[in-house]
């Protein structure tokens, strides 16, 4: 399961780091206060950009840990700047890199228990990865991208893909 967890999520987090750098440069070039992007929401009931990045990191790091049979590390949600979000991405990627490929042997059938709406839900590792973690991870990474794109940051599909 290692090839389905670590390399793709690490690549997307690397791409997310790249689009954050472009957003930071965009703010400087256009004399826009970074908070305008960092706090932007696509719709009032959606989470702001900063939270989208935090959650993308969380879903990647938690999936890496849970599927390796480890208790996930907690990352406090204290970031308020592009630099702090970059550090969060770096920390999540470094944490994910601590798990050896062999830690994922048997992960597809290993039971994973998470809290959903206050209830414990247990599922096999493959279901946890494909039906929960990956969709959540990509939703938040894509929403972060869309917020920046919506606000005029010059990024495209190649930036999202990490090409």
pLDDT in tens, 18-39: 999 999 999 999 999 999 999 9
Closest CA to 36 of 22, 47, 50: 50
Long-range residue pairs from 111-116, CB within 8 A, at least 24 positions apart, any chain: 112/66, 112/67, 114/66
Catalogue all structural domains in the chain, each as residue range(s) with its CATH number.
Answer: 2-161 (1.20.120.450)
Does the pLDDT value for residue 121 go beyond 80? Answer: yes
Q: What are phi and psi of 115, to 5 degrees?
A: -90, 130
Mean pLDDT score, 139-161: 97
pTM: 0.96
Distance CA 66, CA 155 (A): 33
Query: Is the CB of residue 103 less than 8 Å from the CB of residue 65?
Result: no
């Amino acid at each position: 399961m290692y090839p389905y967890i670590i390399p793709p999520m690490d690549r997307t987090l690397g791409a997310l780091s790249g689009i954050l750098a472009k957003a930071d440069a965009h703010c400087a070039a256009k004399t826009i206060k970074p908070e305008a992007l960092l706090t932007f929401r696509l719709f009032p009931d959606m989470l702001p950009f900063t939270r989208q990045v935090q959650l993308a990191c969380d879903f990647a790091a938690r999936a890496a840990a849970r599927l390796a049979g480890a208790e996930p590390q907690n990352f406090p949600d204290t970031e308020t700047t592009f630099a702090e979000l970059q550090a969060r991405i770096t920390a999540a990627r470094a944490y994910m890199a601590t798990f050896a490929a062999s830690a994922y042997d048997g992960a597809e059938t290993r039971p994973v228990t998470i809290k959903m709406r206050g209830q414990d839900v247990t599922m096999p590792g493959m279901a946890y990865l494909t039906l929960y973690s990956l969709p959540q991870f990509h939703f938040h990474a894509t929403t972060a991208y869309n917020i920046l794109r919506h606000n005029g940051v010059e990024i495209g599909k190649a930036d999202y893909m990490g090409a």
